[in-house]
Chain A
Amino acid sequence: MFIALGCIVITIIVYYLSKKVYRKLKFALLSPLLVAPCILSSMLVGFHISYSDYDSGGRWLSNLLQPAVVGFAVPLYKYRAVLKKYLRIIIISMTTGVMVALISSGIFSHIVHLQNNYLLSLLPRSITTPIAMAVSFNIGGMPTMTAIFVIVTGISGLIIGPAIIRYLHIKEKLARGLLLGMGAHGAGTSKALEFGSEEGAAASLAMVLAAIFTLVFAPILTPIILL
């Protein structure tokens, strides 16, 4: 109980400090999602605390992801008129995104000679964790490895997303939101909210659609990817 509470408090403190540093320096590689886990992991190793002890507290924070996902109903509702207007474009972009996510994960895994069990765990990595784990299980991957790949995707997306938006001159708010929500699930969506609330709404929708489309497409595309 004491350890659990301590872990929650320390995680929050480390998060706030890393967020402050990030806000000041605005350097993408200093994202709190990269810095804070590094600091916390070294603390666990340094103080000989096992991960399961840490997670007895950490899981309370992870659990808050659930109401946070429910909370995405707010931007979706507020911008429903815009989203409805562009629904066709959104569906086309997301279908493209989901297919490219599955196929490119497969192709790159083949290129670096990863075994099939890792390849299958990598396929659903660009969607929100619980659904990614379910998809991974369905297609014969390892759900826990998938959970890690989802997190690493989130961190990568936070850093890569804004760079892509800049280099490719993606000016449309809708396109910015979709690419962040599609490429990096919830983490990307939180980045989209930094751009603005319309981008955030687009990203929330992208995150939800990516998850649903992946559920549908993953079992169909997996046999082709494994060829």
Chain B
Amino acid sequence: MKKVVLTAIQVVILYVFALIGNFIVYCLHLPISGSIVGLFIVLFLLHFNILKLSKIEQGASFLMSEMLLFFIPSAVAIIQYKDQILRHGSQFLIVIILSTITVMISTGLVAQFYIKKHASKKGEI
């Protein structure tokens, strides 16, 4: 029970940082999302030891491990677009799947190539 309460409090803390981020984005008309600004604020506070990792770690790991749950309502929203999907669904799916494969392969191979190069350079020295 104590663990549940602690996690809930930490989730609220993280939420507050997201809200602060939203506020900053709103005030400065930034093109990025408030939660990413919130992430940088938290990183900044952790770096300068103003915020202790233990104050948010449990809440963060709970949110990250259940993240798929938070995507589900937006996935259910797809039924609202029945017409477009019946008309173009297969085209959308082809583009998304082929492009995702291309992106993942190129990113993974480029990263792997440079990591290996980096490692072999180190080996020579």
Chain A contact residues, CB within 8 Å of chain B: 11-12, 14-15, 19, 31-33, 36-37, 40-41, 44-45, 51, 54-55, 58-59, 61-78, 86, 88-90, 92-94, 96-97, 100-101, 104-105, 108-109, 112-114, 118, 122, 125-126, 128-131, 134, 138, 144-145, 147-149, 151-157, 160-161, 164-165, 168, 170-172, 174-176, 178-180, 182-184, 186-187, 189-190, 193, 200, 206, 208, 211-212, 215
Contacts and interface: CB of A to CB of B under 8 A. Distances in A.
A64 B59 CA distance: 11
Given A156-B96, A179-B111, A187 B39 contact: no
B43 A76 contact: yes
Nearest to B58: A74
Contact of A40 (B67, B72, B88, B104): B72
B112 A151 contact: no
B96 A160 contact: no
Contact of B59 (A40, A71, A129, A172): A71
Contacts of B22: 66
Given A15-B72, A108-B95, A67 B78 contact: no
Nearest to A11: B72
B98 A168 contact: no
5 contacts: A37-B76, A61-B70, A61-B73, A67-B35, A122-B92
B120 interface: no
Nearest to A112: B91
Nearest to B80: A51
Contacts of A73: 39-40, 42-43, 46, 56, 60
B125 to A, nearest CB: 15
Contact of B100 (A96, A147, A160, A190): A160
Contact of B104 (A108, A113, A160, A172): A160
Nearest to A78: B53
The B interface is mostly helix, strand or loop, or mixed, namely helix
Contacts of B95: 105, 108-109, 112, 114, 122
Contacts of A171: 112
B64 A41 contact: no
Contact of B57 (A37, A74, A112, A189): A74
A188 to B, nearest CB: 8
Given A11-B73, A77-B47, A69 B36 contact: yes
B18 A86 contact: no
Contacts of B6: none
A68 B75 contact: no
B110 A92 contact: yes
Which one of B33, B36, B38, B107 has the highest number of Cβ atoms from chain A below 10 Å of its Cβ? B107
